[in-house]
Amino acid sequence: MTAPTYRWFQPQSLSVPGALVNEDAVAVSASSLIMIDGATGLAAGRRTGWPSDAQWLAHSLATLLTERLDGDISIADALGQCLDELRIEYGDDDDGGLGPSASVLIARITGSELEVYSLGDCLALVGMADGSVASIRDGAVGELDAAVLSRLQELRRGTDLAIDQARALVQDLLIGNRKLRNRPEGYWIADLSAAGVGHALTRTLPAAQVRDVALMTDGYAAALDVARLVGTAGALLQELRRSGPVPLMGALVARLSDDPRCTAFPRLKPMDDSSVVIARLLGNTDAVDEATSLP
């Protein structure tokens, strides 16, 4: 890999479970910010010694990617190699698409450029030096989930159905969506087949034009598109710059906890795992006071 002429400065991260098992993973290497959002497969039981196979996949991927992304390799090839290695560990046989999967979002410094690789529904916000904000996200998973959520709301209308009861009634739709993974008519994602790695959304930007980068799972992005704590992607990034990840996370938990039936803020589960990382991008020759805050 071309020697980076830029570096990450003061990365701040936070990962909060939505339930007992956190299936998100966050990592930072010399070159890269890494965000992983694991999803439980349709197969019954567990094949790993972890609390869930999705947690195993997310955390194992994050660890392996930090080792490979600083080398002379493309992001897609690095991810493919990691998935190949994990497939052997999981059991080198075809899981029929029923095993765990994960959204993968990576921002990597390569020489004088910033690469963004987005596979799945995590959200990247890139703050530009001119004050604009680039939002990078694959909408395929969100569109499928929105159709399920619409059906769930129809079933609950005029009833006292709790969210878990209603979710059971749309389980067939959720399973149907999951069976569309890594298919052209469905969505592309990281799983142990590695079939999706070549289908990510990618952006390459001159590092000199980038101020900072925030990566987040859909659980944290719910502050924008579900709980409406902020009105725009730019406002979300500005809040992270000003206060870091914790205050907005606290506000998100409070707002969604006040809506346990998921009616005021419609969603498929009361609370999702929520993770974010934000960091400045600085040139190696830039002199910065280490006490300087993120903004």
Q: How confident is the model at residue 42 (pLDDT cuts 50, 70, 90)?
A: confident
In-domain check, residue 289 = no
Give the pair of three-digit tokens for residue 94: 């075809």
Q: How confident is the model at residue 290 (pLDDT cuts 50, 70, 90)?
A: very low
pTM listed for this prediction: 0.94
Q: How confident is the model at residue 291 (pLDDT cuts 50, 70, 90)?
A: very low
Give the pair of three-digit tokens for residue 26: 């966050």
Identify which of 107, 108, 136 has the alpha carbon closest to the alpha carbon of residue 123. 136
- pLDDT (tens digit per residue) in 124-174: 999 999 999 999 999 999 999 999 999 999 999 999 999 999 999 999 999
In-domain check, residue 291 = no
In-domain check, residue 182 = yes
In-domain check, residue 139 = yes
Residue 131: what pLDDT?
97
Q: How confident is the model at residue 98 (pLDDT cuts 50, 70, 90)?
A: confident
Cα distance between residue 267 and residue 270, in whole Å: 7
Average of per-residue pLDDT values in the chain: 93
Residue 93: what pLDDT?
65
CA torsion through residues 256, 212, 126, 196, sign: negative
In-domain check, residue 290 = no
Domain span including residue 34: 6-279
In-domain check, residue 293 = no
Residue 2: what pLDDT?
57
In-domain check, residue 267 = yes
**What is the domain-level CATH number for residue 239?**
3.60.40.10
- pLDDT (tens digit per residue) in 233-272: 999 999 999 999 999 999 999 999 999 999 999 999 999 9
In-domain check, residue 198 = yes
- pLDDT (tens digit per residue) in 186-206: 999 999 999 999 999 999 999
Our count of domains for the chain comes to 1
Whether residue 105 contacts residue 35, with contact meaning beta carbons closer than 8 Å, is answered with yes
